[in-house]
Structure 1
């Protein structure tokens, strides 16, 4: 009789242990699920914070206004030249930007809207000529300034510049090559001859960086980058960077890689 009681007690003890173990497992599983949910919530909050930071960054880097004092300086039968007030970083609020001229005309009873890229943006009297117009046509013209955020990054040294860029977010085909045009636009030394500080470089589609050597210290350079596909070149991105000032007075010879 005592032996049977012992066996019964042992069975009861095992059932209790099994029940407690299962209960503990459910609790642990619940804790694990709770921790996972907390982790997911934390990731959502973190991602939301990053999105807000990106929006705030884009808002801060958005140009303050388009170029001002737009005026027509020359009118011919099939072309019009416009000019605007020079602008700099205080307007663009970033080093990389592009400027386009949008114009609307009415030809043969139909309204036509076109857009062209302005390349001459850094001179004292920036201007652009619209060609191939229909004679005796009224035009409505405006300038649009945009900042393609982070498309070009530059590392400036005394006599060299390293440019890095990303593939355009939107392309009209497979990129075949990149073209970089550059020129010196100003220098801390007004006696320097900047006429030989310009050129054009072609890079393969898989290349996204370039080193410019032989630049003048303390000089500002304008770089125009555009990507080419089988259909031609896409819209360019214009950026400018300034080399650091060195202690050397002799201007280096011009050379590019």
Structure 2
């Protein structure tokens, strides 16, 4: 093929002979066509004469003779180098060229002398691509002649790359089994090495593993993590590794939680709520991005009225990434048993149960229906039960009472309020020195270390008692006649109700006089007149009935004055 001139001479050289040497390789190509061109003046006719052509089979002495130039195979993107070994003498004026088959020239050369008649000329092509693939030869130019090597082929190979991504065969929590899927490739072979390049989607680093089989199991992966996996193929030569193929994007499965949650403690304890906290959640503990934390608790409530105990159980969901929770509406002074559970789609881990106790609170009210009482005329016996919700340890009971109403007009109501304290095991009280026929407002409340609870109220009325007199002993008559006796009558105390009437009773003592003590007075339940008593043979009779207004103070009364008092003949 016709290329650039390998030797030229400038200036006028008419009517002169010039000796020129051309050193070529006869190995390949083994046939050459030499063209000589000259520029002839248009004013005069000229001609070119070629004479004394000698073809020698040994190196020339004026122009360097190149040894055979070998073919070069390189991977795309690498630097190609041609080493032109020449024999002969090279002067500094000589130019060394690397000529491409299309005529392009590369003039950058490095010359290294091996001896006084042998040297190496090096040419480097940086970052060759497929378009640089061609035939190249070494050329030297000097005034004495030219040396030309054979054409050597620069073969540029494209590193291989898979067309399709790997295929997923199986996924586990810590592994992925894939098929490389390298039957179809882009680029050139042969393939001498296969590698898997993988990385987590959110990770900046990647790893490369050499693979010797069509399938590969990737170990020691993180659970529930997305990975990008590509295949790398390598052909012979430096830079023979091609770009990664299309990636397979796949996710590992979740793994069972590593262990139960630890560090469950109470950060704040109150009477009706409990603030809890535990260790912070981390992915190496949950081993799954989809997980749940449950807080289960239980406590036992005593049955009222001696009934069976009731156990309350409840499980609550905790927000993800939260390591604290507050239980509310708990019963005071109760043991609360708490357990944490960590679960994901692959399993569940339950922690050990931890017990806490809420603080005391003021007690609940005593049930009004538990108040039982037995009233007398001047005493009341009261009994009650412990509050249904003691909310702690009962330390004492407080009983208050006050008279609010009375049928005895001599009693001032409302009376003063009085308070009595009882020990925690004393659930009864006897009220004494009360007024008969009087209604009392009685309240009972329990106390814990937190204070008094609600008050239970009831109204109790004492019984009405018989009127009493203030006689120290039986008084002596004020005067006596044969048919009358004058005595001093004193008004009576009502004892819970106003005196409705006074009755004067005469009892005959036929045998002897008996001194009667005040506390041994007999009762005369049936009122009867003097005539009825004589008819029945009864020793006593009613001789008069007086209204209360007739006896506002101590007054004399004559028995036997033959007057009639409210139907009774005296």
TM range (shorter): 0.3 to 0.5
User: When the two structures are superposed, what TM-score results if normalisation uses the length of structure 2?
Assistant: 0.18
Of structures 1 and 2, the one scoring higher in RCO (CA 8 A, sep 6+) is: 1
User: When the two structures are superposed, what TM-score results if normalisation uses the length of structure 1?
Assistant: 0.39
**Rg larger in 1 or in 2?**
2
Q: Which has the higher helix share?
A: 1
